[in-house]
Structure 1
Amino acid sequence: MIYIIMGVSGCGKSALGAFLSEKLGWPLHEGDHFHPPGNVEKMARGEPLTDQDRLPWLFRLHEVIERERCSRSDALVACSALKRLYRQILLHGSKALDSSSGPGRDVLPPTHPDVCFLFLHGNYDLIQQRMVARRGHYMKADLLRSQFDILEPPSEGENVLPLDVSRSMTDMATEVQKHNARPEPSISS
């Protein structure tokens, strides 16, 4: 199973990822480490990223996800994945861009059975307080509003497990472990 831990900046993706990685013994691929230097510099200046800025980053993460899927490994990936298109790119790479541009294009499945989005959600004030309190991260709290503005919460059809960030880390991890203990879906080739 691949769990993509998603949500706005400051919601706890990295913290939950590290916690789950230790509990489950799975590798964690921290999305922040895959940003091109220009993206990091832009965010550090307080400038929101555009879709064009995000594309190389999303393609790199898609490659990581595909590598883990092809090896049938369990893994965690922390990535904001704020828009449906971003989630489609994570799952399908450049095919997601081809299918999103016009009628008559192939419609891609909204998910893979072996990939689940863990959607960390919470109210703006709580997450903003967390962002202000954290130190040493290039993403400034001023950019949180822009993330909430573009957020397209995943639909049920996207194989999502919503997790309220007002709950404890242990509670959220227990819910993920219960989800993971369910019988494995069959994966069609």
Structure 2
Amino acid sequence: MILIIMGVSGSGKTTVGSSLSEKLGWTLHEGDDYHPKENIDKMASGVPLTDQDRTPWLLLLHDIIEREMSAGSHAILICSALKKLYRQLLLFGREALGGACQREAMEGVVFAFLSGSFQLIQARMVARKGHFMASNLLQSQFDTLEPPSLSENAVTVDISKSLPEIVAEIEAAISTRL
């Protein structure tokens, strides 16, 4: 199984993904580590990424998903996956470009959407240190966000809960799909 932890910047993807990886013993892939320097520089300077900026990055993450699935591994991928198109690119790669892909979900891949209010996430972003994402980009992330549907094999988790509660909720959701 591949678990994709998704949500806007500041929703706790890395914290939740790290906790799940440690608890389950699954390989963790931090999507931000695969951004090209140009994307990081844009975000750090407060410029939102475009679909054109994100597409090569998402295709690279698709390759990681394919590699892990081919190996029969369980893995966690942390990726904002804000739009349905982005989730389609993660799942189906180039097949998703141009609207040719009609499938919603891929067997063995589950999205865990970390959902929270703008105010809660903004407060977290302002408090965190050392991350390249400028906090003034949060509104653009919310504007871009298309929450996943159940047909996308997604579970929505309220991030106002404690970390152990969030982790337990995701674990319960994926245990029924293993």
Write the mapping of 1:177-188 to structure 2, written as runs, cut at 5 A.
177-182=171-176, 184=178
What is the CA deviation profile of residues 81-118 of structure 1, one whole-angstrom value per residue up to 9, with x for unaligned ones?
000000000000011003x1xxxx4x431111200000
Shift of 1:146: 0.2
Identity %: 54
Give me the whole-angstrom Cα distance separating, in 2, the residues matched to 1:83 and 1:36: 20
Q: Which residue of 2 aligns with 1:90?
A: 90
Alignment of 1:131 with 2:125, yes or no, is: yes
Give me the whole-angstrom Cα distance separating, in 2, the residues matched to 1:120 and 1:156: 14
Letter in 2 for 1:166: S
1:110 alignment partner, SS class? coil
1:109 alignment partner, SS class? coil
Give me the whole-angstrom Cα distance separating, in 1, the residues matched to 2:62 and 2:90: 4
2:174 alignment partner, SS class? helix
Counterpart pick for 1:109 among 94, 103, 106 = 103
Shift of 1:23: 0.4
Report the number of matched residues.
Answer: 178
Letter in 1 for 2:70: C
Letter in 1 for 2:165: D
Q: Which residue of 1 aligns with 2:147?
A: 153
Letter in 1 for 2:44: A
1:119 alignment partner, SS class? strand
Shift of 1:160: 0.3
Give me the whole-angstrom Cα distance separating, in 2, the residues matched to 1:78 and 1:181: 19
Flag as ranges the 4+ runs of structure 1 deviating above 6 A: none
Gap regions ≥5 residues in structure 1:
185-189
Structure showing greater Rg: 1
Q: Which has the higher helix share?
A: 2
Give me the whole-angstrom Cα distance separating, in 2, the residues matched to 1:55 and 1:45: 20
**Is contact 2:110-2:154 (8 Å) kept?**
yes
Shift of 1:9: 0.3
Give me the whole-angstrom Cα distance separating, in 1, the residues matched to 2:177 and 2:156: 19
Alignment of 1:144 with 2:138, yes or no, is: yes
Shift of 1:181: 2.2
Give me the whole-angstrom Cα distance separating, in 2, the residues matched to 1:183 and 1:61: 22
Gap regions ≥5 residues in structure 2:
none
**Is contact 2:110-2:174 (8 Å) kept?**
no
Q: Which residue of 1 aligns with 2:66?
A: 66
TM-score (norm: length of structure 1): 0.92
Give me the whole-angstrom Cα distance separating, in 1, the residues matched to 2:173 and 2:72: 18
Shift of 1:180: 2.6
